Homo-oligomer: A and B are copies of this chain.
């Protein structure tokens, strides 16, 4: 009978029974053996194992291989006096809230226009799983990789970005790459120009490193050259951060006729440009513009790219392309920060992106994002005529300008009460703005839910 009874409800029943048993016993007590439980509870061994796994997962019990299963020590209530830490630590430069909110899963009955990762239907999860399983079984996969990354993966990124392989450094995800790059170039206390609105994770990185973000406004063609020039003059900054291709949050593209002026203005300032190319494969049309790197003739542009947006958030693989002495500084700081990048993930990434299904995946991803954006645009025009926006050309989100007097945080709170999670625009600013915005993200929202989401938003004003 045992295996036949191994279904979800029996697992839940056994879990509840064992949880009650664990609660009744003192910490450290041994639970009956799995064999004994199989007999006593009349269920299969798989059911017992799954119940124990669930209790290990939530910390109720712990298993010692070969010895058995024991009741875990209860989590102690924090009673130590740590107030001395508040004096020792002083003011904090670390502001993670805007970053955490884009990572947190809303509760199940909420429509999610907040998280910046693809829902599972758009992730190539089964091919990612197969690629990783193959990579992990190679004997060399667990050894120390070259500190710059495996040659195969460097070659692939170089091809994608129009770079030389020797200029490519594999990094542990795009965010890790940005962290290393932004800390490599200018010392703490320096001003850094940021094309706004901008990615909260980059703003938080700058502030955490003691750098001072200075806003430079964008319009639908990207950063405004005349204001960029003035900002360099006014601050003496030696670093500009921007997302020329499908910027977060508004999906704009730096216009072709602005690429040369931006490079020239940075050159006159003796400054580097960090190109955050996170959305290269998230265009809603056929072809993304080339990376700004391609127009760079003097090692001015440092490009950061990542696979996690197009492939899945847990594939922590990205890259940095840099030329000249700065490449050595970045590579040196990355070694100091991380030693190496997990080789199994590097090899899995190569398997995935050179596999036959990758281009098809990118095409269907682009089509799905385009369909969601189109549906969102139609619904907003219908339901929210007082809000303004420009249709994004790529990426995950639309940047909605709210009517004068609207408070973005209050509006987001009311929408959440009604079952819709959205991102308040102020997380994307580095200084005062002339209008409030919401970021409407459609990475995790299936197309058929777009209309309902916009109706909830309209009802929340």
Contacts and interface: CB of A to CB of B under 8 A. Distances in A.
A142 B155 contact: no
A57 interface: yes
Interface in A125-147: 125, 128-130, 132-133, 136-139, 141-145, 147
A101 B255 CA distance: 45
A210 B120 CA distance: 42
A389 interface: no
A271 interface: yes
Contacts of A185: 88-89
Contacts of A133: 132-133, 136-137
Interface in A66-97: 66, 72, 75-76, 78, 80-82, 84-90, 92, 94-96
A423 to B, nearest CB: 15
Contacts of A297: 80
A175 B180 CA distance: 14
B166 A75 contact: yes
A336 B62 CA distance: 32
Interface of A: 53, 56-59, 62-63, 65-66, 72, 75-76, 78, 80-82, 84-90, 92, 94-96, 99-100, 103-105, 115, 117, 120, 123, 125, 128-130, 132-133, 136-139, 141-145, 147, 150-152, 155-156, 158-159, 164-166, 172-173, 175-176, 179, 183-185, 187-188, 201, 204-205, 208, 210, 238, 267, 270-272, 297-299, 312-316, 323-326, 329, 331-333, 335-345, 348, 354-356, 358-359
6 contacts: A66-B359, A82-B324, A142-B313, A172-B338, A179-B336, A205-B337
